[in-house]
Amino acid sequence: MTDDVTPSPPSSAPPESDLDKSIAALLALAAERPWSQVSLRDIAARAGVPLATVYARAGGKAALLARLSARYDLAALATAETPSDEVHDRLFDAVMARVEAMEPDRDALTALSRELPARTLAPHFPRTARAILEAAGVEATLPRLAAMVAVWARVVQVWRDDEGALNRTMAEIDRRLKQMRSRLGRLGAGF
């Protein structure tokens, strides 16, 4: 008996591991030198991946940052599997999972946040805010999304300077989520 399985055509896309290596190289280089002195060629060389391969997966440093941010967002989305009756708790868990996902890369991310203009980092915030809201089972309406972006922006600022057990970060998450819920409630956009 033979298998009538037709082999898949070879993929022209580089394997995901090349992207992972490139992101790891970006983080290592960002911790070592100013962002303006890191090129895509440097990233490819550090990753041991051909420049053409890196370029095919991410056409620039900003695209690699977007991929990295999306990877962290997955940690927030994974909390959707944790049931809780309290919206606040679900939001807290999603935000905290996103923070904890970033924690191993703290040095590089802190260096990047201090060097990069807000216009480079800010475009990632709405996607993260949406992931957090969706993970918590909260519809991402425009007012809620805007409010969650503001919460996330502040949490990231506190996290950047919070070393140790993340106590300040957790307190900030709790405080900002309570403020967000109260303000949205006054607008009639609560949850």
> Does residue 120 carry a pLDDT above 60?
yes
Q: Residue 1's pLDDT band (boundaries 50, 70, 90)?
A: very low
- The Cα–Cα gap between 90 and 131 comes to 12
Q: What is the pLDDT of residue 9?
A: 45
pLDDT confidence of 139, banded at 50, 70, 90?
very high
Q: pTM of the prediction?
A: 0.84
137: left (phi over 0), alpha (psi -120 to 50) or beta: left
Q: What is the pLDDT of residue 12?
A: 52
User: Average of pLDDT values for 69-92?
Assistant: 91
